[in-house]
Amino acid sequence: MRLGGRELIRSWAVPVLLAGVALAFDAADRRVPFSVLASGPLDETAHLATGALGLLALSCFIGAPRRFYVAGLIASVAIDLDHIPLYLGLLGNQGQRPVTHSLTTVLVVVVAAVLFPRHRAVLAGAATGLLIHFARDIAEGPPGVRMLWPLSNTAWTASLWWFLGMIITFTLVRLVLVTAGLPRTRVRLFLPLVPAGHAGSVSPQGPVRPIRPERTSRQPR
């Protein structure tokens, strides 16, 4: 579906605004000397905008319920609560991010999604939000993120270009695909089957094409 003028402006405004917020707050965070009160709001705003932009880009390819995206957004900032014991001096190494900043946390959430199908959409959204969060943390430079803990204690770091690449990629994917009306169909995830003729599901990109229901009354999510 190709978009009309006003729809096009609206569809461009949100990702461009999110990209601007992510870049501006990230730049400010890099300039301000670190303190929890000053850096925290700058850092988390950049994480939130990056998470929202990444999820918007992802929504071009998948159709998922609203709770998937809400969980992704929350996880994209809430994982930094694991710094609190560190700041209080209760545990951890001040020179490193907590080990919960690692793929182990993502793995735990994915295993939980497998074990608890009723909450699969929320948990999958949370895992996605965590990955986007860690991708930006890596680009913040030292101390980096010990992604492979406990297998390896090596902290992964990347330059600012990594973060710029993320933002540019997310933004371009969203703008180009939405403008072109591509892809024609999206992969349907965690959605109940609904009768033909009804609007399918809610997602940042609009309804997903409904699929004719099977005869079972309850459908897996």
SS3 63: strand
Host H or E run for residue 58? helix 36-58
Beta carbon nearer to Zn ion, 105 or 171:
105
Residue 80 interacting with Zn ion (CB under 5 A): yes
User: Contacts with Zn ion in 148-167 (CB under 5 A)?
Assistant: none
- Name the minimum Å distance from CB 36 to Zn ion: 13
Nearer to Zn ion, 29 or 80 (CB): 80
DSSP string for 78-124: HGGGGGHHHHTTSSS-TTS--TTSSHHHHHHHHHHHHH-GGGHHHHH
Three-state secondary-structure class, residue 3: coil
Closer of 9 and 81 to Zn ion (Cβ)? 81
Helix (H) or strand (E) segment spanning residue 187: strand 187-188
CB of 219 to Zn ion, least distance (A): 36
Q: Residue 187 and residue 62: Cα distance in Å, rounded?
A: 5
Identify the residue among 137, 171, 173, 201 touching Zn ion (CB under 5 A): 137
Q: Which helix (H) or strand (E) holds 62?
A: strand 62-63
CA distance 130 to 86: 19
Report the alpha-carbon distance of residue 94 to residue 67 in Å, rounded. 34
Per-residue contact track with Zn ion, 21 to 60, x per CB under 5 A? ----------------------------------------
The 187-216 contact track toward Zn ion, x by CB under 5 A, reads: ------------------------------
Rounded to a whole number of angstroms, the minimum distance from the CB of residue 121 to Zn ion is 24
Distance CA 200, CA 206 (A): 9
- Contact in structure between 15 and 175 (CB atoms under 8 Å): yes
User: Within 10 A of 17 (CB to CB), how many other CB atoms are there?
Assistant: 13
Q: Which residue is nearest to Zn ion (CB)?
A: 137
Q: Which is nearer to Zn ion, 54 or 65 (CB)?
A: 54
Q: Is 140 in the site for Zn ion (CB under 5 A)?
A: no
How far apart are CB 133 and Zn ion at their closest, in Å?
Answer: 6
Only segment of 20-28, 77-85, 152-160, 194-202 that touches Zn ion (CB under 5 A): 77-85
Pick 29 or 137: Cβ nearer Zn ion: 137
Compute how many residues bind Zn ion; rule: CB under 5 A.
2
Interface with Zn ion (CB under 5 A): 80, 137
